[in-house]
Structure 1
Amino acid sequence: MVDTHGAGPALRQSSETPARTASGYGMLVLMLVALVVLVFSATQLKVQPWAPWVLIASVLVFTFVSIGFYLLQPNQAVVITLFGDYKGTDRTTGLRWTWPWMTKKKLSVRANNIISERIKVNDLRGNPIEMAAQVVWRVTDSAQALFDVDDYKSFVVVQIEAAVRTIGSRYPYDDFEHQEVTLRGNHDQVGGELRTELIARLRVAGITVDECGFTHLAYAQEIAGAMLRRQQAQAVVAARQTLVEGAVGMVEMALDQLSAKNVVELDDERRAAMVSNLMVVLCGERDTQPIVNAGSLYQ
């Protein structure tokens, strides 16, 4: 296939097809029969004139049949080629047989688990962070895995690193106000996007991703201390804000109930003093010590 844009030959995508192979058990019986004939003809070499010809034929049959055997376990496949031409893939388990001149290459279609190396990535806000991912992948198309990429296992490792970098730069590491999607606060969503990204990247190699997620996610060491202090400051501010909002509500409720039940008549100055005292009591970090005022507010 030629590229119509003039960039040269384009990559031809392979596709897995079933191979024409035979069960090895029938051929095993034929090989045993050839072995029996071989032994019998060897004992008749000095007696019968036909014995040498039968011996040669049985040796050829025994050798021809024995070379074509191969064994497949569950979740294994064998790719069969003839002088470099792809002839199909056999996934039938057990003892199998094909023509001796066919080249056979086994590969596993079982699930593989890989944990990537920790890599340094700049998040959406430019902060350097460290990330590592755990990916469960498997081969779905043996022809693509062997013929469309040079080394599909190395290809998986490289594409995992590239996908982690892409996802890591797409979101900020953290957002204390929870107004946007973050790497730390939205594991399921970000992990789903990482899986989608990996499936798209590995499709060319006939590989799919069953599961993935982050095994390590943290600020880089050079800014970890500063970001920790920033998070602590943001937490203190948020806690103070919540505390003040609650205290204001309680003061408002107290003043409304005092006025509604005519417990005490408060002018503006007394109201301000009560508000000040209540805010100190409610917002203070230490236990308050009550003071009994025997006089009036103006003394």
Structure 2
Amino acid sequence: MDGFVVLLVLVVAALLAAGAVVAGFLVAASLPLQIVWWVVAGLILLAVLVLATGFTVINPNESRVIQFFGRYVGTVADDGFKWVVPLTFKRRVTLRVRNFETSKLKVNDADGNPVEIAAVVVYKVVDSGKATFAVDDYEEYVAIQSEAAVRHLATTHPYDSDAGAGTSLRDGAEVAAELTAELRDRTDLAGIEVVEARITHLAYAPEIAQAMLVRQQAAQIVAARTRIVEGAVGMVEGALDQLSARGVVDLDEERRATMVSNLLVVLCGDKATQPVVNVGSLYA
């Protein structure tokens, strides 16, 4: 209930108790009647004191979990000055969005390579009752489940994969969505909603970092060379087709092979080529 309304009622009751005390003194000639008035005043004051234990102040994005002699009777999440069941224990639970960052974990990825991985988890409490009574400490629960989910994620995906070979740990959006979904399933029973979870640190373990760097560089060089060769072959094919279509020169198989070889050397070479003018016969 609105705390100010109950406060007004209790103030009126306290005034009535004071009036009963005064009335007891006014009937001093009759001791039994005087005692009755004072008993009434005492009962009213006792009721006021008991009811006053139900007042509580709730800040924005907070809630109060109410227990009556150990029994859970409900949760109040409306901010303001409130009055709840008297003689109850009121536990504060924040509903604000929180961040948690795991420590750097050393695990083996799907390929068996040791990697270091860490993640940040953004979460909030959506059910104060579950967060209070379903687990011992919901903050510790989120921390442990986050590390377990990150370890599981790292063991089911490789650090890096070839194109089209599936999701790797370096695929940020896909990995973040998978980690968020898994954490939501793990923390639902504790009344926690995971807003977002993302990888913040990902690297090979120091003992293999240098070797993996060389491997990555070699893979990039191979990929670059493959694209260069594919482009060069297309350019050579186009050049030969245009020469034949326009009738510029009639090449036999040997001359075509020579031209293809020369063009590929020019297009695929690491350094600039130097032209050589042949003034003799090709067969000389």
TM-score (norm 1): 0.83
Structure 2 residue corresponding to 1:246, chosen from 212, 224, 231: 231
**Distance in 1 between residues matched to 2:177 and 2:129, nearest whole Å:** 27
Pairing 1:26–2:11 present = no
Q: Residue in 2 aligned with 1:194?
A: 179
Q: Which structure has the highest helix share of the two?
A: 2
**Distance in 2 between residues matched to 1:179 and 1:156, nearest whole Å:** 32
Q: Spell out structure 1 runs of 4+ moving beyond 6 A.
A: 38-48
Alignment of 1:113-132 (within 5 A): 113-132=99-118
The one-letter code of the counterpart of 1:290 is: P
1:83 is displaced (CA, Å) by 2.0
**Distance in 1 between residues matched to 2:142 and 2:197, nearest whole Å:** 13
Q: 1:253 to 1:80 in 2, by over 3 A?
A: same
Q: Is the 8 A contact 2:17 2:40 kept in 1?
A: yes
Q: Residue in 2 aligned with 1:16?
A: none
Aligned length: 277
Q: Residue in 2 aligned with 1:65?
A: 51
Deviation string for 1:220-268 (max 9, x for gaps)? Answer: 2222211111111011111111111111121122222222222223233
| Long gaps (5+) in structure 2 | 29-33
**Distance in 2 between residues matched to 1:36 and 1:288, nearest whole Å:** 106
Report % sequence identity: 47
Q: Is the 8 A contact 2:67 2:88 kept in 1?
A: yes
**Distance in 2 between residues matched to 1:34 and 1:226, nearest whole Å:** 82
Pairing 1:105–2:84 present = no
- SS of 1:169's equivalent in the other structure is helix
Structure 1 residue corresponding to 2:148, chosen from 145, 159, 162: 162
CA-based RMSD of the aligned residues comes to: 2.4
Pairing 1:178–2:180 present = no
- SS of 1:63's equivalent in the other structure is helix
Structure 2 residue corresponding to 1:88, chosen from 63, 68, 74: 74
Q: Is the 8 A contact 2:50 2:87 kept in 1?
A: no
Q: 1:257 to 1:99 in 2, by over 3 A?
A: closer
Structure 1 residue corresponding to 2:219, chosen from 229, 234, 242: 234
Deviation string for 1:125-182 (max 9, x for gaps)? Answer: 1111122112121222222211121111100100000011111111111113333111
Q: Residue in 1 aligned with 2:119?
A: 133
